[in-house]
């Protein structure tokens, strides 16, 4: 989380410095700098951040996963559908829970939606400031 806030703190300053150095106020270098930063973060996560599952527990986890998944044919369409199902499966934890016979608890759903809107607004701040000055 610290890297996220360092980016929020230094990103606008770096962007304004780069914009002032370019003679035609082109924002293309900012795009490439951002893409490079994301690539570095991806490589860092892929190669440096350790695996959370110990290597001795992996075979056990694979057997458990295969036992809980239904057998499907492995045609290209079913493989894509299975991949998408696995990709979206963690979002099931955000569904409303039964709080009683007739009531549902929407607390986690509301928190998740409000957090998404908050993060979206944080991401849009830099664009607002960039286009307010250079638009």
Model pLDDT, residue 83: 81
Model pLDDT, residue 114: 92
Within 13 Å, how many C-alpha atoms sit on residue 54's CB side? 2
Rounded distance, CA 101 to CA 111, Å? 23
Element (H, E) at 2: helix 2-21
User: How many domains does one find in the chain?
Assistant: 2
pTM comes to 0.42
Range of the domain at 27: 1-50
For residues 85 and 45, membership in a common domain is answered with no
Nearest-Å Rg of the Cα atoms of the chain is: 22
Rounded distance, CA 55 to CA 132, Å? 51
Q: Digits of tens for pLDDT over the chain (135 positions)? A: 566 678 778 888 888 888 888 888 788 888 888 888 889 888 988 888 777 767 777 777 677 666 665 555 556 677 778 888 888 888 888 888 887 777 888 888 899 999 989 888 887 777 777 776 655
Model pLDDT, residue 73: 53
CA distances from 12 to 26, 40, 73 (A): 15, 19, 50
For residues 90 and 44, membership in a common domain is answered with no
For residues 41 and 89, membership in a common domain is answered with no
Model pLDDT, residue 125: 76
């Amino acid at each position: 989380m610290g890297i996220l806030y360092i980016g929020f703190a230094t990103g606008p300053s770096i962007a304004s410095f780069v914009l002032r150095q370019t003679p035609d106020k082109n924002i293309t270098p900012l795009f490439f700098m951002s893409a490079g930063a994301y690539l570095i973060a991806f490589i860092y996560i892929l190669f440096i951040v350790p695996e959370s599952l110990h290597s001795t527990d992996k075979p056990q986890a694979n057997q458990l996963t295969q036992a809980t998944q239904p057998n499907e044919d492995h045609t290209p369409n079913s493989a894509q559908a299975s991949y998408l199902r696995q990709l979206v499966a963690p979002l099931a934890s955000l569904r409303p829970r039964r709080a009683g016979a007739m009531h549902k608890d929407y607390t986690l759903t509301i928190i998740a939606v409000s957090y998404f809107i908050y993060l979206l607004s944080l991401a849009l701040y830099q664009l607002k400031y960039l286009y307010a000055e250079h638009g």
